[in-house]
Amino acid sequence: MTTYKGIKGFTVQNVASDPTANTGQVWYNSSTNLLKYSGVTTSGSWSTGGALGTASGVGASCGTQTAAIYMGRNTGAGAYNTTSEKYDGSSWTATPSLNTARQGGQGIGTQGAAVCAAGQGSPGAVLTAVENFDGSSWTTGTAVSNAVRNLGSSTSGTQTAMVVFAGIGASGSGNTDTESWNGSSWTSSGAMSTGRYRLGSAGTQTAALAYGGYSTSTLNATEEYGGSSWTSGGNLGTARYGGGSAGLQTAALFISGTTGPTVQTAVEQYDGSSWTAGTAVPTGKNLNSGAGTTAAALMFGGLPHTTATFEFTGAGASLTKTVATT
């Protein structure tokens, strides 16, 4: 009988815990009684992450796959709250609460230096309130000029350099407004071509991206922001809204969401000029949240209310797999 040793010249390593593996390495985990190997993804893959502490959706988020934060969300029946949680790459833990309860706000920055901007404070009440997180507490920041919810932003911006845009105001229609923050004040900074809300967004203060969303209909349009004005980008393959976002202007993801009639599992990736189909998520959700990059992203929460978290490993990245032994 042919053996692994006979082919490769050595035996499979027996270890009590998974090592930091090199591509092609094979090992047996004696604690879990599983045979595993390290390979390379060809098209990207999703796996299940740690569950949120509270089933929820319509929350604000930012950060990375191993250091994300989720704040201000809907837990059902109009229950907008101040709750925030942080993710460490495997599990969610409670962090200090926001000062103002909300849903549909926008997250910007990192887990330890996050911003939660605007949103909906109660049915019919749209907010201008901005809060800043320093890793231990939330403090009131300078309010935006326009009261909006379900807006977009430079998700990878900072507390001293960010931009927010679009969203839906008290009038009930999507707007084209853009506001830029320089660390001391908000200024109007170039109108979008198409007003929208429940859109995807990514990027930095001087290189932001807006995609999809809803206006009078479901949109597939993409717009790119250069620091003062917007230009047209490549269209999404599937018009939709309410998806999660991750990445930068030249490398972004739009995760799940809905076309209106149908919740999608589809994922699309932007390369700075065009969108291509990516690996679908296991479970689609409307108004879910995202974080991270095209190489290492997260999707979590969403409607119907869920605690589910999914982790994405991009194409070409190392990936540990379990070998079926039966």
Could you tell me which residues come within 8 angstroms of residue 216 by beta carbon, excluding any fewer than 6 positions away? none
Q: Which tokens in the block code for residue 230?
A: 């917007």
Name the stretches of the chain with pLDDT < 50.
Answer: 4, 9, 40-42, 317
Cα torsion 113, 81, 201, 40 to 10°: value is: 70
Buried b or exposed e, range 251-269, using 16+ CB within 10 angstroms: bbbbbbbbbeeebbbbbbb
Same domain, 143 and 218: yes
Same domain, 73 and 21: no
Residues spanned by the domain of 32: 4-40
Task: With respect to residue 301, please indicate whether it lies within any of the assigned structural domains.
Answer: yes
Task: With respect to residue 191, please indicate whether it lies within any of the assigned structural domains.
Answer: yes
Q: Which tokens in the block code for residue 32?
A: 């879990």
Same domain, 194 and 275: yes
Same domain, 121 and 192: yes
Task: With respect to residue 324, please indicate whether it lies within any of the assigned structural domains.
Answer: no
Same domain, 79 and 54: yes
Separation CA 1–CA 188 (nearest Å) = 73
- Per-residue pLDDT, 85: 98
Cα angle value 234/237/241 (rounded, 5°): 95
Task: With respect to residue 321, please indicate whether it lies within any of the assigned structural domains.
Answer: no
C-alpha distance across the termini of the chain, in Å: 18
- Per-residue pLDDT, 188: 97
DSSP for 222-270, please give it: EEEE-SS-EEE-PPPSS--BS-EEEEETTEEEEE--B-SSSB---EEEE
Q: Which helix (H) or strand (E) holds 94?
A: strand 92-95
Same domain, 219 and 71: yes
Q: Which tokens in the block code for residue 18?
A: 């998974």
Task: With respect to residue 326, please indicate whether it lies within any of the assigned structural domains.
Answer: no
- Per-residue pLDDT, 41: 46
In 135-243, the DSSP E strands lie at: 138-140, 152-153, 162-165, 178-181, 186-188, 200-204, 207-211, 222-225, 230-232
Same domain, 13 and 68: no
Separation CA 196–CA 229 (nearest Å) = 16
Q: Which tokens in the block code for residue 190?
A: 């170039």
Separation CA 2–CA 220 (nearest Å) = 54
Task: With respect to residue 319, please indicate whether it lies within any of the assigned structural domains.
Answer: no
Residue whose tokens read 């009988």: 1
> Which CATH number do you get for residue 171?
2.120.10.80
Number of domains into which the chain is organized: 2
- Per-residue pLDDT, 40: 43
- Per-residue pLDDT, 2: 54
Same domain, 109 and 10: no
- Per-residue pLDDT, 13: 81
pTM: 0.85
For residue 91, give the amino acid letter.
Answer: S
Same domain, 96 and 127: yes
* Region of 4 on the Ramachandran plot (φ > 0 left; ψ -120 to 50 alpha; else beta): alpha
Give the β-pairing of 289-292 and 186-188: unpaired
Task: With respect to residue 276, please indicate whether it lies within any of the assigned structural domains.
Answer: yes
Same domain, 11 and 95: no
- Per-residue pLDDT, 316: 59
- Per-residue pLDDT, 4: 47
Same domain, 34 and 62: no
Could you tell me which residues come within 8 angstroms of residue 131 by beta carbon, excluding any fewer than 6 positions away? 98, 99, 100, 115, 116, 138, 139, 140, 141
Separation CA 294–CA 314 (nearest Å) = 6
